[in-house]
Amino acid sequence: MISAKAVVRNALGIHMLSAGAIVETCNRFKAKIWLQKGKRKSNARSILDIILLESPPGTQLTIEADGEDEREALDALLALFDRNFGEK
């Protein structure tokens, strides 16, 4: 298992479209992937779980990945956060 920190930087925080982009990215990989905010840990393949994390701009999340392609999955999610989920 590997993990890394990511900060939500887009203007609206994590909402339905950004959560959908996270799920879509996760579905390209076999690894199990979670997002964690404080003590709350959510399945990164579930839009509802991601939305329930309540992550406005500035929120720091921990991304955890476990499985054969965990490094690739983590790198793809970090890149998604760095690109602000494709938002301006």
72-to-17, 25, 38, 52, 66 alpha-carbon distances in Å:
22, 11, 24, 25, 11
- 15 a catalytic residue: yes
Q: Which member of 4, 9, 13, 15 is catalytic?
A: 15
Among all residues, which ones are annotated catalytic?
A: 15
